[in-house]
Structure 1
Amino acid sequence: MRPVLGLHHITAIAGSAQGNLDFYAGVLGLRLVKRSVNQDDPGTYHLFYADAEGRPGTDLTFFPWEHLAPGRKGVGLTVEVQLAVPQGSLAYWENRLGRYGVPLGAPEVRFGERALPFRDPDGLELALVETAPRPFSPWEKGGVPEKHQIMGLHGARVWEQALGPTERFLDSLGFSYVGHQDGWRRYALAPGGSGGFLDIKELPQAPRGRWGVGSVHHLAWRVEDLEHQMEVRRMVLSQGIPATRSIDRFWFRSVYFSEPGGVVFELATDGPGFAVDEDPAHLGERLVLPPWLEPRRAQIEAGLPPLELPQPRHERV
């Protein structure tokens, strides 16, 4: 079986849709590359943020369920999303985030890389991590200088009640153990590097986590195409883990399952991509629905709050 290729996207749960947009597009300077709805619950948005091109591996997405209770941090959930930034840019980000009142943690060094933990307005835990250059298309309208822009998803951190079953499963996906630090064990896909690893902390006595506002819903891993997706799905099923059929999300195809510790994983194909139904120059500017939801457009639009793209918030370099 071919291994998975790295992170495709990470999906989290937000409260206010406009507040989420203001923070990720306005403060962090990411591009809103797709403004759509949750295809399983069309009464809420699905907002996709990425680099200028919307390439797989740069995509952080949100379901804004404003009336959902806050999540509970615990085992079986992703507890932090890491975003890659260029080396030497943390001072810029510490200043920028501080100016907008973003709750910051103390800078630290993780596996040889400098990191700045912080929280978004809903309490989602994130970290900016300085890393070597990687494939990335800068977004000139985000208000952040290109030399400091977020380049994509760096990695994720999860808590598990028992490490062994998850470790063996990650090995089946193509991950290898590469080291430990401060109770965290890192697993990486060859050849390693930004976007291709997962950090795990084993906490046998910790309570189970619970989805809610400010928590991560699932981690999506890249596969090349439908054939590759089916190879990995067969492996998952062979281990006695239930997995969905391949679901057409229009911009990619998805298979969902829970790894042995309970974290929801997705296998997402690299294509066809976000430009399949929009001009690349105008991604995210209007509500886009997959063809099977178009007949319900008027009803869907009537139930969604209005959204306004924030003005870029420029800072001195």
Structure 2
Amino acid sequence: MTHGIHHVTAIAGPASRNVRFYTRTLGLRLVKQTVNFDDPGTWHLYYGDEAGAPGTILTFFPWEHVAPGRLGVGETQETVFRVPEGAIGFWTHRFLAHGVAHEALEKRFGETVVAFRDPDGMRLALVAVPGAEREPGFASGDVPAEHAIRGFHSVSLLVEDAAPTGAVLADVLGFAEAAREDTTVRYRTSTDGVGGTVDLRAVGGFLKPRPGGGSVHHVAFRAADDVAQAAMVERLKENHGIGTTEQKDRNYFRSVYFREPGHVLFEIATDAPGFAADEPTAALGTQLKLPAFLEGQRERIAAVLPDLGLGAA
């Protein structure tokens, strides 16, 4: 079975700043330039590994003048990437050199972690993963392949009570409780690979979130195909009394959405057809791509989208 995190979608400020940070500072590949299908005057930018594989994809809706978000209960607290064990020193030095706001190294569940923020204040972290150096890395600019990010490690979610959310993770999304540390319950998939971990942090009495710059909009989980997705939807309804939206075609995957019991917005996204559906892998992220229903508006849409600064040095 295919399980784990498919992608994470967040809200950002200026698009050019977002591109600069994720491609140049973090060394991710811009794998798709498209738009918010429900708001075509807004970019939808996708970053990931060389092929845009599920479990590596961080996406953004950037708004030039967005107000900062406020973290609250019922929201993703932190989005965490995997790096090889030997790469942590490289990244801490890089954060210092590039003025990236970051914390001191710490241990979580026995793993070495460095937490940091992007220019919009989004909470991110790197985790040193033994054996990750044997996985292919994407060399980008002055980030060599041996130190490159290897997809997602985890997301941490702030919830009032971990148990109901954990039940959905375990029964529907392919995770199982693996460990506890303080107020955090860790869930993992059986493969525990890329995107294979979710941490639930129980925080009673916390403020509700205010979405804005730096906020995570939703977390998407993997389904191999439409059949697997439909089975997950049915299980969610029958065992948890939770309905989903109708399936939406996002060109690169097909999605359903729902609020899990802790109020975090979840998506179930199919692995197919992938980001090479409308441009070859070698050319991913190099041109504006639109769904068929928006192609007739291409000239108007392109005219209002902010410049991404891709030609800047």
Contact 1:131 / 1:194 at 8 angstroms: preserved in 2?
Answer: no
> Which residue of structure 1 aligns with residue 150 of structure 2?
151
Matches of 1:113 and 1:241 in 2, distance apart? Answer: 34
Structure 1 residues 171-190: aligned runs within 5 Å = 171-173=170-172, 174-190=174-190
Give the aligned residue type for 2:254.
Answer: R
> Which residue of structure 2 aligns with residue 271 of structure 1?
272
> Which residue of structure 2 aligns with residue 242 of structure 1?
243
Matches of 2:297 and 2:150 in 1, distance apart? Answer: 36
Q: Give the deviation of 1:70 after TM superposition.
A: 1.3
SS of match in other structure, 1:186:
strand
Farther-moved stretch of structure 1 (291-300 vs 22-31):
291-300
Change (3 A) 1:77 1:111: same
> Which residue of structure 1 aligns with residue 121 of structure 2?
123
Structure 1 residues 73-92: aligned runs within 5 Å = 73-92=71-90
State the TM-score, normalized to the length of structure 1. 0.94
Q: Give the deviation of 1:199 after TM superposition.
A: 0.5
Farther-moved stretch of structure 1 (63-72 vs 119-128):
63-72
> Which residue of structure 2 aligns with residue 217 of structure 1?
217
Contact 2:255 / 2:267 at 8 angstroms: preserved in 1?
Answer: yes
SS of match in other structure, 1:89:
helix
Matches of 2:149 and 2:189 in 1, distance apart? Answer: 21
Q: Give the deviation of 1:6 after TM superposition.
A: 0.5
Matches of 2:236 and 2:92 in 1, distance apart? Answer: 41
Change (3 A) 1:271 1:37: same
Change (3 A) 1:133 1:292: farther
> Which residue of structure 2 aligns with residue 113 of structure 1?
111
Give the aligned residue type for 2:301.
Answer: I
Contact 1:34 / 1:49 at 8 angstroms: preserved in 2?
Answer: yes
Q: Percent identity?
A: 47
Change (3 A) 1:311 1:66: closer
SS of match in other structure, 2:229:
helix
Structure 1 residues 1-317: aligned runs within 5 Å = 5-133=3-131, 137-173=136-172, 174-238=174-238, 239-309=240-310
Matches of 2:62 and 2:289 in 1, distance apart? Answer: 16
Change (3 A) 1:136 1:66: farther
Aligned residues: 310
- The C-alpha deviation readout for 1:262-315, integer Å capped at 9, x for no partner, is 111111111111111112111111111111111111111111111222778xxx
Matches of 1:200 and 1:171 in 2, distance apart? Answer: 12
Change (3 A) 1:153 1:310: farther
Contact 1:30 / 1:142 at 8 angstroms: preserved in 2?
Answer: no
Q: Give the deviation of 1:190 after TM superposition.
A: 1.2
Give the aligned residue type for 2:198.
Answer: L
Contact 1:33 / 1:284 at 8 angstroms: preserved in 2?
Answer: yes
Q: Give the deviation of 1:193 after TM superposition.
A: 3.9
Q: Give the deviation of 1:213 after TM superposition.
A: 0.7
Q: Give the deviation of 1:215 after TM superposition.
A: 0.7
Farther-moved stretch of structure 1 (235-244 vs 245-254):
235-244
State the TM-score, normalized to the length of structure 2. 0.95
> Which residue of structure 2 aligns with residue 315 of structure 1?
none
Matches of 1:5 and 1:311 in 2, distance apart? Answer: 39
SS of match in other structure, 2:17:
helix
Q: Give the deviation of 1:136 after TM superposition.
A: 5.1
Q: Give the deviation of 1:170 after TM superposition.
A: 1.9
Give the aligned residue type for 2:127.
Answer: V
Contact 1:21 / 1:310 at 8 angstroms: preserved in 2?
Answer: no
